[in-house]
Amino acid sequence: MADGAPRSALFDRHGDTGAQHERTSLAWARTAIAFLAIGGLLLRAARHMVVPTVGYLLGLGLLMAAAVLLFGQHEDYEEREGSLRSDAAIARPASLRKLAAITFAATVSALVGVVLLVV
């Protein structure tokens, strides 16, 4: 290293100081916060929709998706942190598929809610 400091064993094993999983966790948290905001707006605006029940259901669905994302990314972060420390396999394709499916469903729900609000 340029400053003469010793390289950590973690850096030697993985080529990074470990900030990648923190950035990933923060990105999932930002996504969940966006879903919270959109879900809250849909709940507030649902009474102005042609079918208010759909707006309420979409808003509640987004709030639940946000909660699942927040808790899911926290669990995933803890697993990755433990894997990095124990030098175990980091890849978790099942977790990624679950989070991707929830994100896709929530995004579609948000788009449908916005379309129903505009119409």
Q: Which tens digit of pLDDT belongs to each residue from 82-119?
A: 766 776 666 677 777 888 888 898 889 888 888 887 77
pLDDT at residue number 27? 84
pLDDT at 79: 73
* Token pair listed for 67: 């909660």
pTM, two decimal places = 0.69
pLDDT band at 21 (very low <50, low <70, confident <90, very high): confident
Q: What is the pLDDT of residues 34-76, one digit of tens each?
A: 999 999 998 998 888 888 898 899 999 999 989 988 887 777 7
| Number of Cβ atoms within 10 Å of the Cβ of 80 | 21
- What are the backbone angles phi and psi of residue 15, rounded to the nearest 5°? 75, 10
> What is the pLDDT at residue 33?
93
Which SS3 state, helix, strand or coil, does residue 27 take?
A: helix
Cα distance between residue 59 and residue 44, in whole Å: 9
Angle at 82 between CA 87 and CA 65, to 5 degrees: 130
Confidence of residue 1 (pLDDT cuts 50, 70, 90): very low
Question: CA-CA distance, 101 to 104, in Å (whole number)?
Answer: 5
